[in-house]
Chain A
Amino acid sequence: MLDSLHRARTEAISKILGNSDKNSLEQIRIEYLGRNGRINQEAKIITSLTKDEKVEFGRALNEAKRAIEGALDEALSEREAVEQQSFDPTIPGILPPVGSTHLISQAIEEISSIFTQIGFTRRRYPEIETDWYAFEGLNMPKDHPARDEQETFFVEGGLVLTPHTSSGQLREMLSSKPPIRMINIGKTYRRQSDLTHIPMFHQFEGLVIDEGLSISNLLGTLDYFAKNFFGEKREIRLRPYNFRFTEPSFEVDISCDVCGGVGCKFCKQGWLELGGAGMVHPNVLKAGGVDHKKYRGFAFGWGVERTYMMKSGIKLGDIRTILSTDIRHLSQF
């Protein structure tokens, strides 16, 4: 009664010995030890045995199962040991496809996220603007030099390509009621192209309108941005300047990261220029439909490209490289 069982056991073990293929060993396991496997098939005769025969058969059945399982375990262990020995962690990998988002998109994302943390709403306003939004509404009369043909692109229909994101200040004030905290990031255009200027670039413009705002709030906001963007140790300062759409107006400087603010050949007495800022001119508030007796505002507008390159230390040499579509350039970011 045990011959067939013994044959099944021997057959299984002979198939296992010398076999190192994982799938093959699994097939053997199913074939012999599975629910409908050989061993269980052999076990079907147990119902026709006597009591004493059942005891003997049961013992032999269990021994067969253990022997096959043991052989399988040993074969798998040997295989693992061999794999472990041949495992070489220094083999270079095969890179998955690695793409890139544009340097400027990364910059915009980072800048935007800092301001949205303190309650600013992100906007993107038109690039083609009317004269009023681009200049007149910003307290720049028709004879202002910024309108000079040499700097502004004029477009048919009496429109312009906006030279600054400040046009967004008016759009925001006319569409939202105070309190306002806006970060407008978009493309701007100036009619110049050389090593340090490109005709199309990006600016980010902050506008805050509320009751009781002060220059201290502007300082606090710019300081918050500078520390989050450039690093905790960096300081900012304001110097007097002049813009038509702000009064007072400021030039904003940041402490030099090379010398720590002491002064070196890369900076001016320890400071680098960042961009402009100021308290929104009452004429601009009026143009935006905001009661300038009740509300005050501050605004700042800086170049995305310039600000990001100051932080990252990327030295392009020719800023027009920003618009390069060569993968060797793009994949560096």
Chain B
Amino acid sequence: MAIELKITDSMLRDFLETDAKPKEIASSLSLCGPSFERVHKLEGDHMYEIEVTVNRVDMASAYGIAKEAAAILPQFGHKAKIKPIKIEKYLKGDLKKTPVVKTKKVKYFAGIVVGDVDGKIVDQKLKSYLEGIGEASKNYIVDATNVAMYSYGAPVHAFDLDKIEGVGFTVKEAEAGETISILDGRKLTLRGGEIVFEDNNGLFDLAGIMGGEDSKVTKDTKRILLATEIIDPLVIRSSSILHECRTHAAVLNEKQPSKQSYQAAIEYACQLIVKIKGRSEGSFVYDKIESSPAKSVIVGLEQINSTLGVPLTKPEIEKILSPLGFEVKWDGEVGQFKAPLDRQTDIGIPEDIIEEVARIYGYFKLPKKLMTGAIPTSKSDPIFAFEKNVRTLLSGWGGHEIMTLSMVGSTKSSEEIKILNPLGESAGSMRTSLKDTTIIALKENNWNNQPMFLFEIANVYLKSKKNKTEHSEVSTLSIGFANFDQRTAQGIIDGLKLKLRSKRLNQLSKVGEYFIFEQSISEMLDIKERSAYKIVEKKPLHFEDITLTKEEGERVSELIEEISNATEEVSSIDLLNIHESKYTFRITFNYARSEVSDEKVSDVRGLLEKKLSNRIK
């Protein structure tokens, strides 16, 4: 997330003296500070679209960008320095009547009354600044507040003082159900807790977010109140999101610029107005912010250099930090770094200082070095290689791997874990099985009458039966077969068992027209040791084919077991053919035909037929 800022090159150069061209400013700063997303050419000017990280609201203004530019541009060989603007001190706190603040969520509230204004006047310079960044110009009063906001990074609002009952209004937390008409034309019903301004006529400002329609400056305005306030950022955030009112003012207020920024913004706005037409009539300041002494951060030179990976000297570090307003005092190789006032919340630990040095120095100048330390000896979980093997086998046999959402509709299982804020009812729980999504995937491919199978390896999520607050995530394999005969589908499972050496695999199940297999990977990972190498017989092994009758309801496994019990020295029993109730098996023995006598072969055959006589019909 970032703060989006638009300023013109002219606005920036009100605060910055440099020989760098706009594209040079953009590319240099992007590497070391705020990110210049785009540079637009305007007639006689340029406009910058900048993204400022949320922890650097001090940069979210022309002045803030100018300070960064003064530090960064010299690293690229450009001349650059700050051009401070002299602002008159208008905030003197000399008004007798002041607003009544009835909430602790407002920590600072300043206002300046300006009389003798004329809402019909439009100033071309202010207008061009705003139109350059795509904002509409209204009149010089409103334009001045907006330019001040973009110049110093703190919102200022102008009220038509004749539309409200003077400056003795109330600042409070709204009650649930109260309404306010705001500047975008909407009438809001408040939830309760939003910070609002109120007089006897009702609410006239959604403080820190958007002004009210009833108090706005118009062509007829003659007297205004300029106001700026520091409000609890959580209230700003929740109120502006709730009412879909994410104005630039709300975004700034949520990120809490410094008190100095608010003071500079309101006084600058007043100065801009007074220079065109107006007269300051007094001000008030409500300040409950406890000032604390500026903090210092102690960082050793060794820590800075070893973190960067390059050896900088103390003078180099000072040269980097001083344009940003940092003060450094060295005690040997250890530095005491004091941040400027508007960076006090952002700079608190040695790593913050290291970041300032590194980014201004330039990350692009740092060498690229792989680690040379000892390689850790911890081992990867064998499950990854096993899953890869399963994927390779199944895709090699024609299966297509699918990936489906972990969230499904509720199955009312006691084991399922519910999502409290799902995107929809059909995704309200974490799945306890892959089977259902596999079947849906098979159905989605029902235009394809060819045999196909799909598989997925993913977690299922199960609440513990003993302790409902515990859960397990079980990596599971699911395979779904469509347009497959059972034996071919079973062959895939048998192939897995053979190649993976799993001790036990689940049986196929039949769901409608599909065959489904599902099992946890950890169960499949219970594998047999590789069997000892068997010397390959040069001669083919002896075999007997036998056809048995299977009764209705009986399982083929019962026939195979009977055969296995009926004879010895068996290498394998394979089902060759099925015709109605007749099942033909090939019994392969573990000796070659040529190594046994005709008598033995005859005896074995005879014994088989005798023991299985009730099946041979």
Contact = CB atoms under 8 A, between A and B. Distances in A.
A157 B468 contact: yes
B351 A327 contact: no
Given A248-B354, A282-B351, A101 B395 contact: yes
Given A99-B399, A217-B370, A156 B309 contact: no
B371 A213 contact: yes
Nearest to B451: A97
A33 interface: no
Contacts of A119: 371, 375-376
A275 to B, nearest CB: 15
Contacts of B201: none
A231 interface: no
B41 to A, nearest CB: 15
Contact of A126 (B371, B400, B473): B473
Nearest to B417: A155
A215 B427 contact: no
Interface string A151-171: 001111111010000000000
Interface stretch (A44-52, A176-184, A308-316): A176-184
B371 A128 contact: no
A69 interface: no
Interface string B15-46: 00000000000010011110101000000000
B307 A214 contact: yes
B597 interface: no
A155 B400 contact: no
Interface in A199-236: 199-200, 208, 210-217, 219-221, 223-224
A79 to B, nearest CB: 27
Interface stretch (B53-61, B261-269, B503-511): B53-61
A238 B365 CA distance: 10
A22 interface: no
Interface stretch (A13-21, A81-89, A318-326): A318-326
A242 interface: yes
Contact of B369 (A150, A220, A247, A250): A220
B401 A100 contact: yes
Contact of A181 (B375, B406, B469): B375
A269 interface: yes
Given A200-B405, A239-B30, A97 B363 contact: no
B53 A242 contact: yes
Contacts of A221: 370-371
B364 interface: yes
B85 interface: no
Interface in A108-148: 109, 112, 116, 118-119, 121-124, 126-128, 143, 145, 148
Interface residues of B, number: 85
Given A97-B398, A99-B395, A216-B368, A153 B445 contact: no
Could you tell me the dominant secondary structure of chain A's interface residues?
A: mixed
B292 interface: no
A126 B470 CA distance: 12
B402 A325 contact: yes
A116 B421 contact: no
Given A221-B370, A240-B359, A122 B381 contact: yes
Interface string B101-118: 000000000000000000
Contact of A322 (B31, B53, B359, B403): B403
A306 interface: no
Contacts of B259: none
Interface in B372-426: 373-376, 378-381, 383-384, 388, 391-392, 394-407, 417-423
A191 B423 contact: yes
Contacts of B468: 157
Contacts of B310: 216
A298 B441 CA distance: 41
A211 B373 contact: yes
- Which range contains the number of A residues in contact with the other chain? 35 or more
A97 B489 CA distance: 13
B471 A128 contact: yes
Nearest to A95: B398
A287 to B, nearest CB: 15
A223 B367 CA distance: 11
A215 B391 contact: no
A240 to B, nearest CB: 5
B329 to A, nearest CB: 23
B14 interface: no
A127 B473 contact: yes
A247 B359 contact: no
Nearest to B475: A124
Contacts of A143: 234
A195 interface: no
A241 B53 contact: yes
Given A105-B401, A153-B422, A241-B53, A99 B396 contact: yes
B602 to A, nearest CB: 23
B364 A237 contact: yes
A149 B421 contact: yes
Nearest to B356: A248
A97 B31 CA distance: 51
B448 interface: yes
A61 B506 CA distance: 66
A220 B461 contact: no
A193 interface: yes
Nearest to A116: B380
B444 interface: yes
Interface in A274-314: 279, 281-282, 296
22 contacts: A99-B396, A99-B399, A100-B400, A109-B388, A121-B376, A122-B380, A127-B473, A148-B241, A176-B378, A179-B375, A215-B309, A217-B309, A221-B370, A242-B53, A242-B56, A247-B355, A248-B354, A248-B358, A251-B35, A296-B307, A325-B404, A326-B445
Given A215-B308, A239-B363, A330-B402, 16 more contacts: A99-B395, A126-B473, A153-B421, A155-B418, A176-B378, A180-B378, A187-B406, A212-B373, A214-B309, A219-B363, A220-B367, A221-B370, A241-B53, A247-B349, A268-B37, A282-B349
